[in-house]
């Protein structure tokens, strides 16, 4: 069977339209929307907030951001949060996943200087969320590390394990009585590989092959310490759930007959998400076998006296193993992988990419988003959920991010098609026994998309960054209907929406079930 026919078969097996419409979600299934503090809050230096690594990066001259923008104002949710909660209430979401800004709480990163104004902001935000009948779902860390801590090495410094636990304790003390769901850390790979091993995210250290692995160990230990802290001091009274969100892409061998390609795909999956998931969720704990083996052999070839991958001690393994009540999965796309001996030396040494030693490509027939890295491949989402369930004994899975980028415009048919196909693939996995309990769209509204600034739009709501008005896209109406009916109707289309008429009523209170604020 050729690679093309193999992929076509997968598409038909996992992306078919079911005969019975609509398809129900399980009883109690939760729908939400996700954001992150730096991307939406603005107020970057107000009310005692300290500088984060993203404040530092976006104020560099020349700017490394695609459109030279910053998150100084972003969508100004710091001041407009009540309106944003009204939007969520109208959507009907069950939960709102948002992050707390570490430097807004601890301007210097350390607990000697607690910013009460920052705590009060999140008091007001959480209270407003609860009043709206929405469940607050808090991410403790979503990339905005206090700049002071980065000067001390940031996530490459083992002391950050205690610094993070100190910060988490302040947050738990203040909000554990109101917040039932917690994410300790969002997307370790993006923190470690993209921020420390490359220049794709702040702090842009670009020290691949070493820095991302130091970071990985410390992130896992910091997560575990925050989890154990909740377990020991808060769970008995508040009975909340604590997890971690891991970015997960599916990697498919470019051919299904070449053993090297099959192994390359397995290696890529373990380096991408197994590096962080395996120590927490696997029966044996520790880093994945493929990761340990590849880095050990590459290190020896390169003249290192021992593996560049830091060792997890028996105590580390014990602390990390089982330190999550659910698997938080951020997933968007799929890549094809192959291994070609003739390409030896294509990556720098040492480096994360050389340790994987594979080539990542996309099928040109896959629908393409505004973001160059994002293609719609729903069968990959299905296979990912199935693989995580198989590897880790069917853990509860919360899809904490899933979304599609576009340009300007309210009639976002491609985003709706993406949601339909990915939700359908997710329902296929649920029907086959996977314990997916929640799904959250990235994102509620357009926001600062890191190195791409405001050039890519992921929002259910479009934002006019001149006036900061929010306008519902067609996808907002679609998502509202999914939540209202607790089902997926692949044939449902919101009616009577035009680009002009859509905008005109966007900031008025809805009069019927098909209109949004």
Catalytic residues: 187, 401
With the C-alpha atoms ordered 323, 326, 329, 335, is the resulting torsion angle positive or negative? positive
Cβ(512)–Cβ(83) under 8 Å? no
Six token digits for residue 484: 């209202």
Cβ(483)–Cβ(91) under 8 Å? yes
Radius of gyration of the chain (CA): 22
Q: Which burial class, exposed, middle or buried, applies to 104 when counting CB atoms under 10 A from its CB (0-12, 13-18, 19+)?
A: buried
SS3 368: strand
Q: Give which of 473, 454, 404 is closest to 75, Cα–Cα.
A: 454
Q: Give which of 309, 323, 315, 314 is closest to 355, Cα–Cα.
A: 309
268 vs 378: CA distance, rounded Å: 19
User: In this structure, what are the phi and psi dihedrals at residue 513, rounded to the nearest 5 degrees?
Assistant: -70, -15
Cβ(99)–Cβ(29) under 8 Å? no
- Give every CB contact of residue 232 below 8 A, 6+ residues apart in sequence: none
Give the torsion through C-alpha atoms of 195, 196, 199, 201, to 10 deg.
Answer: 10
């Amino acid at each position: 069977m050729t690679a093309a026919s193999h992929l076509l078969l997968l598409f038909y097996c996992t992306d078919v339209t079911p005969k019975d419409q609509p398809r129900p979600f399980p009883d109690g299934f939760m729908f939400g929307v996700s954001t992150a503090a730096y991307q939406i809050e603005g107020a970057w230096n107000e009310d005692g907030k300290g500088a984060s690594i993203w404040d530092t990066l976006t104020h560099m001259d020349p700017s490394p951001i695609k459109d030279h923008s910053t998150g100084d104002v972003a969508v100004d949710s710091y001041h407009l949060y009540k309106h944003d909660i009204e939007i969520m209430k109208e959507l009907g979401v069950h939960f709102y996943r948002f992050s707390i800004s570490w430097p807004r709480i601890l301007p210097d990163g350390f607990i000697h200087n607690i910013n009460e104004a920052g705590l009060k902001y999140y008091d007001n935000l959480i209270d407003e969320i609860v009043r709206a009948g929405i469940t607050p779902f808090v991410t403790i860390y979503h990339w905005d590390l206090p700049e002071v801590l980065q000067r001390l090495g940031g996530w490459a410094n083992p002391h950050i394990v205690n610094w993070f636990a100190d910060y988490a304790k302040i947050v738990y003390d203040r909000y554990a009585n109101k917040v039932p769901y917690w994410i300790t850390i969002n997307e370790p790979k993006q923190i470690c590989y993209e921020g420390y091993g490359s220049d794709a995210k702040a702090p842009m250290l670009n020290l691949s092959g070493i820095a991302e692995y130091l970071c990985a160990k410390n992130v896992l230990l910091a997560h575990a310490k925050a989890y154990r802290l909740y377990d020991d001091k808060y769970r008995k009274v508040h009975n909340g759930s604590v997890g971690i969100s891991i970015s997960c892409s599916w990697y498919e061998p470019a051919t299904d007959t070449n053993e090297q390609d099959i192994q390359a795909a397995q290696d890529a999956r373990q380096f991408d998400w197994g590096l962080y998931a395996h120590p927490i969720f696997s029966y044996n704990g520790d880093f994945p076998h493929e990761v340990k083996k590849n880095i050990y052999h590459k290190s020896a070839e390169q003249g290192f006296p021992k593996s560049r991958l830091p060792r997890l001690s028996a105590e580390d393994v014990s602390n990390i193993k089982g330190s999550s009540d659910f698997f938080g999965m951020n997933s968007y796309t799929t890549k094809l992988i192959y291994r070609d001996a003739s390409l030896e030396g294509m990556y720098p040494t040492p480096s994360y990419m050389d340790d994987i030693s594979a080539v990542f490509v996309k099928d040109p027939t896959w629908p393409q988003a505004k973001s160059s890295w994002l293609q719609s491949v729903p069968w990959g989402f299905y296979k990912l959920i199935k693989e995580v369930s198989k590897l880790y004994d069917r853990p509860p899975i919360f899809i904490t991010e899933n979304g599609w980028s576009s340009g300007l415009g309210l009639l976002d048919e491609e985003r709706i098609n993406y949601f339909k196909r990915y939700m359908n693939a997710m329902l296929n996995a649920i029907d086959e026994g996977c314990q997916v309990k929640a799904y959250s769209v990235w994102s509620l509204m357009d926001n600062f998309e890191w190195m791409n600034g405001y050039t890519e739009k992921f929002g259910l709501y479009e934002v006019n960054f001149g006036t900061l008005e929010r306008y519902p896209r067609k996808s907002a109406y679609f998502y509202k209907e999914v939540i209202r009916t607790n089902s997926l109707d692949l044939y449902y289309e919101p009616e009577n929406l035009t680009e002009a008429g859509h905008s005109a009523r966007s900031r008025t209170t809805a009069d019927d079930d098909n209109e949004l604020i």
